């Protein structure tokens, strides 16, 4: 991986983790647990909540196992990111966002034993989430789009058929759907 991609990855990981922790600190400083602050009435509000489980409160009863698994997963993703040869522009950005979100939630798990959530989209009754969750979601979507819409430039791949090119959104590629 070229040197500037390491810096991109590390900067996004550390910046994302700091942004997440900063917004959680603000939420805990200005919101009471369970109380809501409407931002866009009946659409979006801030609601302080804590989650001892994983996504959608899974593994709520085993916080130590979940914390250990989270540490292992974070380390595996770090190893993958630093050993991977990047073929598409933006892969290091997407992985940096994912790692930044993972770092933010990992810090909560290790320091508090639970994850702080506060972003509440009430119009669709979506579970309360945080900035880290958003970073992970954006990073994953970014990777999916990159892998679907970039030509296959992996020289070791036996599949020489390129994927759709997203630069021409008017064509009938999967990216234009």
Q: Tell me the pLDDT of the chain (177 aa) as tens digits.
A: 456 768 888 999 999 999 999 999 999 999 998 889 999 999 999 999 998 877 656 667 777 788 888 899 899 988 988 887 766 668 889 999 999 999 999 999 999 989 999 999 999 988 999 999 999 999 999 999 988 987 665 555 444 444 555 554 444 444 443
Q: Are strands 36-40 and 44-51 parallel, antiparallel or unpaired?
A: antiparallel
Catalytic residue list contains 133: yes
CB crowding 42-80: b at 16 or more within 10 Å, else e: eeebbbbbbbbebeeeeeeeeeeebbeebeeebeeebee
* pLDDT for the residue 161: 47
* pLDDT for the residue 174: 43
* pLDDT for the residue 65: 81
* pLDDT for the residue 173: 40
pTM of the model: 0.79
Catalytic residue list contains 120: no
Selecting among 108, 117, 159, 171, the annotated active-site residue is: 117
* pLDDT for the residue 53: 75
Selecting among 108, 133, 165, 171, the annotated active-site residue is: 133
Q: How far is residue 177's CA from residue 170's CA, in Å, rounded to a whole number? A: 9
């Amino acid at each position: 991986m070229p040197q500037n991609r390491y810096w991109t990855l590390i900067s996004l990981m550390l910046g994302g983790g700091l942004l997440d922790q900063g917004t959680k600190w603000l939420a805990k400083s200005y919101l009471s647990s369970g109380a809501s602050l409407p931002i866009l009435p009946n659409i979006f509000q801030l609601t302080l909540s804590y989650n001892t489980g994983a996504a959608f409160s899974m593994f709520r009863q085993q916080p130590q196992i979940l914390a250990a698994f989270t540490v292992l997963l974070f380390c595996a993703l770090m190893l993958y990111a630093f050993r991977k040869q990047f073929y598409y522009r933006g892969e290091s950005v997407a992985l940096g966002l994912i790692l930044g979100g993972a770092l933010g939630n990992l810090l909560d798990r290790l320091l508090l034993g639970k994850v702080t959530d506060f972003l509440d989209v009430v119009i669709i009754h979506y579970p309360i989430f945080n900035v880290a969750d958003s970073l992970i979601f954006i990073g994953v979507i970014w990777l999916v789009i990159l892998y679907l819409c970039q030509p296959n430039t992996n020289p070791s791949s036996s599949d020489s058929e390129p994927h759709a090119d997203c630069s021409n959104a008017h064509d009938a590629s999967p990216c234009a759907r």
